[in-house]
Amino acid sequence: MNAQLLIDNLTNPALLFFVLGIVAVYVKSDLEIPTNSSKFISLYLLFAIGFKGGQELSHEAWNSEIAWSMAFGVAISCGVPLYTFFVLRRKLSIYDAGAIAAAYGSVSAVTFVTAASYLEAQQLHLNGHMVAIMALMESPAIIMGLVLVSIFNKEDNDRISKRQAIVHSLTNGSVLLIVGSLVIGLLANAKQAEGIKPFTNDLFKGFLAIFLLDMGIKSGRKLRAFFSNGWFPIVFAIVVPLVNGCAVAYLSGWVTHDVSNRFMFATLAASASYIAVPAAMKISLPKANLGLFLPMALAVTFPVNITIGMPLYYMVVQST
């Protein structure tokens, strides 16, 4: 692995703010991001990345590569929960297996945003259609996880409403905002977009740093309770994302030769949702243990991806 690349990622201010949040918890500081502010920043990040992606997409010529890339993204979103469900079932309940499989098949918008910043640091360009692919990958994994639970669930009196699950996965706030912003960015012309460019571009990295500080605080608070669940969730949350990311970094070469696209595919495959999936599972799969799969995605997989994962996926993409 390129040592300088790893050092650059480890000294990224956004990552260091995430670490600062964890440190704040362990030194028992009263540092805290107000809930309303945290929600606003989350919405801002989704809006900004969606709008910018829509603008980029408006300048791209649609071709077979983009179509195949979208199909590849959906295939990843369905394939990851399909195989991870059976791995998880060996140690966990069917409800936890379904929820965790959905989380790891779905994507993390914040990881995507961090990966976009990583690309920028490497002087690479994020192509707009990757934002559309990220949005497409949210819902199929949620639906797949719920379908798997329905198929293998032996309790007839505990059926899941598939209609409710599908509707919620498509209308979830984070999914709706990223897709809506993408469409608005696609429809707006360059002159119209220029008017809000200072908000969507210039403030982006600062808001990302504050958001990751908040994520660090939340992760730090959940780590202690999470470790009481044994070794399996921890190992899974570390190994599976790295395997997924490296495998997709290699396989994506069959779909596109663009380095930035392949890197983003790998990062999306390795990420785990801790916004859309928990919200959907809370309604559709209430027996799933939120205190298990949320820390897996947020407190383990997320920091692993932004420290070890991204340099590793980038190295695999460059070498294949």
Question: Could you give phi then psi for residue 106, rounded to 5 degrees?
Answer: -80, -175
Residue 94 counted as domain residue: yes
Query: What are the distances in angstroms from CA 16 to CA 34, 211, 238?
Result: 20, 12, 20
Note whether 156 and 257 are within 8 A (CB): no
Cα–Cα distance between 188 and 291 in angstroms, integer?
41
Query: What are the distances in angstroms from CA 302 to CA 15, 52, 68, 162?
Result: 10, 23, 27, 29
Note whether 139 and 168 are within 8 A (CB): no
Residue 251 counted as domain residue: yes
User: DSSP code of 71?
Assistant: H
Cα–Cα distance between 20 and 32 in angstroms, integer?
11
Cα–Cα distance between 246 and 271 in angstroms, integer?
12
Q: Is the dihedral of CA 80, 82, 88, 93 positive or negative?
A: positive
* pLDDT at position 1: 44
Pick the more confident residue, 180 or 14. 180
Reading the block at residue 202, the tokens are 């210039």
Split at pLDDT 50, 70, 90, the class of 9 is: low
Note whether 204 and 72 are within 8 A (CB): no
Residue 133 counted as domain residue: yes
Reading the block at residue 69, the tokens are 């890339």
Reading the block at residue 132, the tokens are 């559309």
Cα–Cα distance between 147 and 222 in angstroms, integer?
29
Regarding pTM above 0.85, the answer is no
**Start-to-end CA span in the chain (Å):** 14
Quick: pLDDT tens for 272-313. 987 667 766 766 777 887 678 778 888 789 889 988 999 999
- Per-residue pLDDT, averaged over 233-256, amounts to 95
Quick: pLDDT tens for 51-69. 877 787 777 777 888 889 9
Helices within the chain (DSSP H only): 3-10, 13-26, 35-58, 64-88, 94-105, 109-121, 129-136, 138-152, 162-171, 173-187, 190-194, 197, 204-226, 231-251, 259-270, 276-284, 290-295, 302-304, 310-319
- Per-residue pLDDT, averaged over 62-91, amounts to 92
Residue 99 counted as domain residue: yes
Residue 26 counted as domain residue: no
Residue 41 counted as domain residue: yes
Reading the block at residue 286, the tokens are 């209430």
Quick: pLDDT tens for 129-183. 888 888 778 778 888 888 888 888 776 555 555 566 566 656 766 667 777 887 8
- Per-residue pLDDT, averaged over 256-284, amounts to 85
Residue 28 counted as domain residue: no
CATH of the domain at 84: 1.20.1530.20
Residue 178 counted as domain residue: yes
Cα–Cα distance between 314 and 320 in angstroms, integer?
10
* pLDDT at position 317: 95
* pLDDT at position 287: 82
> How many structural domains compose the chain?
1
Give residue 263's domain range: 3-21+33-319
Query: What are the distances in angstroms from CA 58 to CA 50, 113, 120, 160?
Result: 12, 20, 20, 39
Cα–Cα distance between 284 and 294 in angstroms, integer?
16
Note whether 165 and 143 are within 8 A (CB): yes
* pLDDT at position 181: 84
Note whether 163 and 88 are within 8 A (CB): no
